[in-house]
Amino acid sequence: MSDSWLDGIPSHEREKIRRRLRSPEEYEKLRDKVKGPEDLEKEMEKNEAMAELRFALETEPAIHDALKTKIESDIREQGIENIVEKLDAVDAQKQIEQGKFRVTVSAHPTSHHDQLSVMPEGTVQEKIPLKTQISDQYIGQFQKRL
């Protein structure tokens, strides 16, 4: 099978690309990106847990309310800055501190991995991710319940 995407570019450019891809540095970078079976298994388990939690939050109000209550109590005990990643709007911070929010599972804005987020009630429904450590802690507690 030929490199069909390479066929459309000039031969000197093709050779530069092939040389670069054969370099030891590029090969090492590529190897670093490749995940092993253990990493893939962990990632699949985490994705499965996130899917189950998302489904439970949407279909079982008791689980949503219990998680919301736990987040509210942690905010009161530890402070909002220790629970959520960042808050730009003061209104959102007030609503979260008052318990006027929904708990959702959404993609983190920078890492794009699913994690727990809070969404203040109101007209602007911005999803504010919880800190990764806190989110993982809640997910672990959810998995122990099952």
pLDDT, one tens digit per residue, over 92-105 is 888 888 888 899 99
Query: In terms of Cα–Cα distance, which of 116, 3, 8, 108 is closest to 68?
Result: 116
Rounded-to-integer distance, Cα 134 and Cα 117, Å: 11
**pTM score above 0.85:** no
User: So where are the chain's domains?
Assistant: 37-145
Q: Is 80 left (phi over 0), alpha (psi -120 to 50) or beta?
A: alpha
pLDDT, one tens digit per residue, over 39-53 is 889 889 988 989 999
